């Protein structure tokens, strides 16, 4: 199944929803329309019971070079920057990509076909796992542009790298090679560009093979565990476990184990 727009492609196959940024002539810089479309596709994938894994990637030589910050007056309304917008003292970010991405229980994988910078860097970090072309780079050059990591980086990076390494990366605005990204643990693996699709397919197939309700519950518990003490967390995990042991998938998983065969999970 596919549902394509010019700038963002959406496809579902083998329990995997793939969202592809498709603005290669501008290195997949994200327009206002694209922001809305990405959210729509994320929410569609979240609600589709056939989808067990979500992949975010791009076309062309870059994954995403950031937001299209050109004024709307220069872009026919496509730019993110609205020079005529009134000043606001409150923001509703519930339906912006970083927030929606963070709250999705299904596994999310960013496949970095090319380099990521700015908003694209933060969006990649917001996924659960990252696979990367060995020719790509990660650019955290926010402070070099007079801004901060605006879409999750200041929350994510200290948790991913520890305070000192995150501080070094953010304060210097450094660009990382693929190998440096791997050495820091920001990406899971590096691949030649022509091998990236096969590596992605192997990983998504392995995830989609497992019981989807259990995978989603595990992710939900991991996310909650970032902000709660151990004893409360164990309590919440037990409360999540009780309904899982009553599912058809749990019965199937145990039967497959005893019968030494592959399980067939249906998300029920």
Residues 51 and 150 in one domain: yes
Asked if residue 71 belongs to a domain, the reply is: yes
Residue 1 lies in a domain: no
Count of domains observed in the chain: 2
- Asked if 262 contacts 211 with a C-beta cutoff of 8 angstroms, the reply is no
**69, 170: one domain:** yes
On whether residue 227 sits in a domain, the answer given is yes
User: Is 140 found in the same domain as 76?
Assistant: yes
Q: Are 5 and 43 in contact (CB under 8 A)?
A: no
Q: What is the pTM of this model?
A: 0.89
Residues 190 and 238 placed together within one structural domain of the fold:
no
Do 216 and 124 share a domain, yes or no? no
Please report, for the domain that includes residue 126, its CATH number.
Answer: 3.90.226.10
The answer on 225 and 149 residing in a single domain is no
Same domain, yes or no: 220 and 204: no
Confidence at residue 144, expressed as pLDDT on a 0 to 100 scale: 81
* pLDDT (tens place) for every residue of the chain, 268 residues total: 555 568 999 999 999 999 999 999 999 999 989 999 999 999 999 999 999 999 999 999 999 999 987 766 555 555 555 556 677 777 777 888 889 999 999 999 999 999 999 999 999 999 999 999 999 999 998 888 888 888 888 999 999 999 999 999 999 999 999 999 999 999 999 999 999 999 999 999 999 999 999 999 999 999 999 999 999 999 999 999 999 999 999 999 999 999 999 999 999 9
Verify that 194 and 244 share a domain, yes or no.
Answer: no
Say if 17 falls within a structural domain: yes
Residues 253 and 158 in one domain: no
Instruction: State residue 143's pLDDT score.
Output: 83
What integer pLDDT is reported at residue 72 of this predicted model?
63
Do 21 and 145 lie in one domain? The reply is yes
Domain that holds residue 13: 8-208
In this prediction, residue 84 carries a pLDDT of 60
Domain boundary among 189, 208, 227: 208
Judge if 159 and 253 occupy the same domain. Answer: no
In the prediction, which pLDDT does 91 show? 72
Same domain, 163 and 238: no
């Amino acid at each position: 199944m596919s549902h394509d727009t010019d700038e963002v492609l959406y496809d579902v196959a083998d329990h995997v929803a793939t969202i592809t940024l498709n603005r290669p002539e501008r290195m997949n810089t994200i327009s206002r329309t694209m922001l809305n479309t990405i959210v729509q596709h994320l929410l569609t994938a979240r609600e589709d019971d056939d989808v067990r894994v979500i992949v975010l990637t791009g076309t062309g030589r870059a994954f995403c070079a950031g937001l299209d910050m050109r004024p709307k007056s220069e872009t026919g309304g496509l730019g993110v920057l609205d020079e005529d917008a009134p000043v606001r003292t409150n923001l509703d970010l519930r339906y912006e990509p970083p927030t929606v991405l963070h709250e999705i229980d299904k596994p999310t994988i960013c496949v970095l076909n090319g380099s990521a910078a700015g908003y694209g860097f933060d969006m990649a970090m917001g996924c659960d796992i990252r696979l990367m072309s060995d020719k790509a780079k990660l650019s955290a050059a926010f402070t070099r542009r007079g801004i901060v990591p605006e879409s999750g980086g200041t929350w994510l990076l200290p948790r991913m790298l520890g305070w000192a390494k995150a501080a070094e990366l953010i304060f210097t605005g450094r660009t990382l090679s693929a190998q440096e990204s791997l050495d820091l643990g920001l990406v899971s693996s590096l691949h030649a560009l022509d091998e990236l699709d096969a590596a992605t397919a192997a990983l998504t197939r392995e995830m989609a093979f497992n019981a989807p309700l259990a995978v989603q519950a595990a992710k939900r518990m991991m996310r909650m565990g970032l902000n709660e003490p151990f004893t409360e967390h164990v309590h919440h995990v037990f409360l999540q476990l009780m309904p899982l042991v009553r599912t058809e998938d749990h019965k199937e998983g145990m039967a497959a184990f005893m019968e030494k065969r592959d399980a067939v999970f249906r998300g029920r």
